[in-house]
Chain A
Amino acid sequence: MHSFEFIRPKDAAAAVSAAAQAKTAQQGAEVRFLAGGTTLVDLMKLNVETPTQLIDINRLPLDTIEATADGGLKIGATVRNSDLAHHPVVQRDYAVLSQALLSGASTQLRNMATTAGNLLQRTRCVYFRDTAMPCNKREPGTGCSAITGTNRMLAILGTSEHCIATNPSDMGVAMAALEATIHVQGPNGTRAIPIAEFHLLPGSTPDRETVLEPGDLITHVTLPPAAATGGATSRQVYLKLRDRASYEFALASAAVIMTIADGSVKQLRIALGGVGTKPWRSPEAEAALLHQPANPANFRKAADAALADAKPQSENAFKVELAKRCLTHALQMAATA
């Protein structure tokens, strides 16, 4: 691990101004905010992350969960994944989020990992984690080792010829379905970023994963009121398929929020995990199923629409069918819940 200066700022403004000195907030950043550490410390040990300054935000007052004025929920940046998953309002109104969080990692890691940290979780692509190998995300311009190498776990949606790294988050997939908003305090004030606009596709700059700029500190995330997704009439399901039953990243996952009335789909949100380069909302699948009769044939049609643009690599063609079955089954679970 490279050496660094350890800084404990007195407030969020001090954290922001310290971080604003960096040239980038993306891969290669000289300044990093330290929250749970489950991604950052891991990657610092591998010399994939080499910050010269580490700003500990764990003591800042960013760890509360509160109702918002409009009936939604405000989740602090350093709220631990386990606290969020077990929060009574999350369990009641945003069950898909609770299920997604509890399907991720282990209890130990969920006790450490934070809301903001999870949004910034880095890919598990083995080439990204290995400094001996070319990787456009870690070292722009060196090439993608995964496209011609080991790519079984990697993405089939949103990829480019420069990068096929999967976004590994479960929480982010549920938040994409819930249309969460990410609130950032930066050198020029605060701003709110819809989650759909927060993560970037790799394109020709896979080292840029989010819209964050130097000094940008995620302070909290808000969820819209439960009524926006059907309230108590909706059914929420997060289904995750993986190589072992627990403590493993998704090969494919699906977040579904669905309201059925008189046998047809009245409201629908669909997002996929384990297959995309970012938490993958699927408007195509939603359009295919909304206002249609809720039956297995239509669920499958929605799944076909979700994966229509899938681009499998040499080792992960199985993911196309797996993701379709995952979504079909999740819709079926939601319909019969």
Chain B
Amino acid sequence: MNKRLAVAVALAAAFAAIPAAQAGSIAPTFNVTVNLTSKCQVTTAPTDVAFTTYTSFQGTAATASTTYGVQCTNTLPYTMALDTTATNTVAGLTYALALSAASGTGNGAAQSYTVNGTMAAGQGGTCALGSCSGTEGRTLTITY
């Protein structure tokens, strides 16, 4: 009898220790982390700056241009430049290239720019035939 009583008392004590109808809450915190490496990329590469046809000693300057696209991380500043080792000469004709902008700030989307080329009038060029074609490779560099 004593044993039964003792068991009953123990069970009652156990249930009494559990908060039956009362709900509690906890709010653990955690962080979401990332290491973002900023980057720029050329989305649309420039095509050739083609001066098409230039006639020796022609009276008007020749112009040509090409467009390209740059996509950079949002708020990332960057600069754009052309290589400086080029001769700026094709078929003996001197030309000049200029960028529509020398720098920019990324906004996450592709941004469009232009390379403008000018070939002054009155040049003779170098050509032993009736016509010649000339090509010079150039490089556009985005620094960020």
Query: Is this pair of chains taken from one and the same complex?
Result: no
* Chain B residues proximal to chain A, CB less than 8 Å: none
